[in-house]
């Protein structure tokens, strides 16, 4: 044998096997002295071989997991690129449909036939507006995924910014039959925020509450300063969120199965992206059947 050329006089080989019996190789032990391998030697070598096999399997699993994660990241990046391209290309024709329907509405008279036409044109215009809103969400969620969601930060009075946003959102809560209560900051405070994105953020959180709160329920928006941040909360008296759904609540395109008209699963992911683009944090508290509270922070403006 070849090993005899190196002065090896004792050799033992223990197979390295996976848990399902697949052979990985052999653990080889050699000695330059004559020896008989007793039962204890063989048992120790078998234990060592099992440990080596486990370590090899673990490293193989890690390598495979890293490979799958890299492929997933490439797939997600490609998806976001496609979303951005398709959404951008769709926006122009949708705008054209919306503008054309608006112009035709202005040209209509007051006759009976014209009223029927007016109703159809209004349906077209509302549908175009809904499509434009969805396209905007797709573009935003692609920006969130790439970490490039744009915000134009300006100094705003927190109370005025909150009240302005509530004025925009109140018709939505009234149409849903919800009582909306607002608690303004106890003391004046300025925050660095993008006013348009702030309204979008609150709109997404309020829209989520409207979906899962029955008519007659309540919605409370409050704000206060803590640790250098303006802390906002949006609390509803709705159906709540099962504990197993909470970890995935801000994932893109994910939906909890709590109703029929759930949308595209983009609103909360975009809300999280907006908060983080402001340098803040967002979290959720909920118990199934006991309502839901979203908390988010936005840094206050530095004092001069």
The reply to whether 103 falls in a domain is yes
- CATH of residue 50's domain is 3.30.450.40
DSSP conformational letter for 239: -
Confidence of residue 149 (pLDDT cuts 50, 70, 90): confident
pLDDT of residue 91: 65
Q: Are residues 172 and 237 in the same domain?
A: yes
Mean pLDDT computed over every residue of the chain: 83
What range does the domain containing 60 cover?
2-66
For residue range 231-256, what is the model confidence (pLDDT) as tens digits? 999 999 998 988 888 888 888 777 66
Domain end residue (candidates: 66, 98, 120): 66
Q: Are residues 6 and 46 in the same domain?
A: yes
Q: Are residues 159 and 264 in the same domain?
A: yes
Buried b / exposed e over 225-243, threshold 16 CB at 10 Å, is beeebbbbbbbbbbbbbee
Q: Are residues 265 and 206 in the same domain?
A: yes
The reply to whether 20 falls in a domain is yes
CA gap 3, 155 in Å, rounded: 79
The reply to whether 75 falls in a domain is no
Q: Are residues 274 and 174 in the same domain?
A: yes
Return the bridge partners of 225, or none.
230
Domain end residue (candidates: 39, 66, 93): 66
For residue range 3-36, what is the model confidence (pLDDT) as tens digits? 666 777 888 888 998 888 888 889 888 888 888 8
Number of domains in the chain: 3
Return the bridge partners of 7, or none.
none
The reply to whether 198 falls in a domain is yes
DSSP conformational letter for 134: H
Q: Tokens representing 41?
A: 């030697």
Helix or strand holding residue 232 (H, E): strand 229-236
pLDDT of residue 259: 53
Confidence of residue 274 (pLDDT cuts 50, 70, 90): very high
- How far is CA 234 from each of CA 5, 95, 221, rounded to the nearest angstrom? 80, 33, 5
Q: Tokens representing 104?
A: 């035709």
Q: Are residues 219 and 287 in the same domain?
A: yes
Q: Tokens representing 7?
A: 């002065």
Q: Are residues 138 and 39 in the same domain?
A: no
CA gap 292, 235 in Å, rounded: 6
The reply to whether 76 falls in a domain is no
Q: What is the mean pLDDT of residues 159-187?
A: 90
């Amino acid at each position: 044998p070849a090993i005899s050329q190196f002065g090896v006089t004792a050799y033992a080989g223990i197979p390295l096997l996976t848990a399902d019996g697949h052979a990985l190789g052999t653990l080889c032990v050699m000695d330059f002295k004559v020896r008989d391998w007793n039962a204890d030697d063989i048992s120790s070598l078998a234990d060592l071989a099992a440990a080596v096999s486990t370590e090899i399997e673990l490293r193989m699993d890690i390598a495979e997991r890293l490979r799958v994660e890299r492929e997933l990241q490439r797939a997600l990046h490609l998806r976001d690129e496609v979303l951005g391209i398709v959404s951008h290309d769709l926006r122009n024709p949708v705008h054209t449909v919306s503008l054309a329907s608006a112009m035709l509405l202005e040209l209509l008279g007051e006759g009976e036939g014209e009223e029927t036409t007016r109703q159809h044109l209004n349906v077209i215009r509302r549908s175009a507006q809904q499509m434009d809103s969805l396209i905007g969400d797709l573009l935003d969620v692609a920006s969130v995924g790439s970490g490039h969601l744009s915000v134009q930060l300006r100094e705003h009075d927190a109370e005025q910014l909150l009240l302005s946003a509530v004025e925009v959102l109140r018709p939505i809560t009234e149409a849903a039959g919800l009582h909306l209560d607002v608690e303004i900051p106890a003391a004046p405070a300025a925050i660095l925020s993008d006013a348009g994105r702030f309204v979008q953020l609150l709109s997404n959180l309020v829209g989520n509450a409207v979906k899962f709160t029955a008519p007659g329920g309540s919605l409370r928006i409050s704000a206060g300063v803590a640790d250098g941040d303006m802390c906002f909360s949006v609390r509803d008296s709705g159906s709540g969120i099962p504990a197993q759904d909470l970890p995935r609540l801000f994932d893109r395109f994910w939906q909890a199965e709590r109703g029929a008209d759930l949308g595209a699963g983009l609103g909360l992911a975009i809300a999280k992206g907006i908060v983080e683009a402001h340098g803040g944090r967002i979290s959720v508290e909920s118990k199934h059947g006991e309502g839901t509270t979203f908390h988010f922070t936005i840094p206050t403006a530095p004092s001069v």
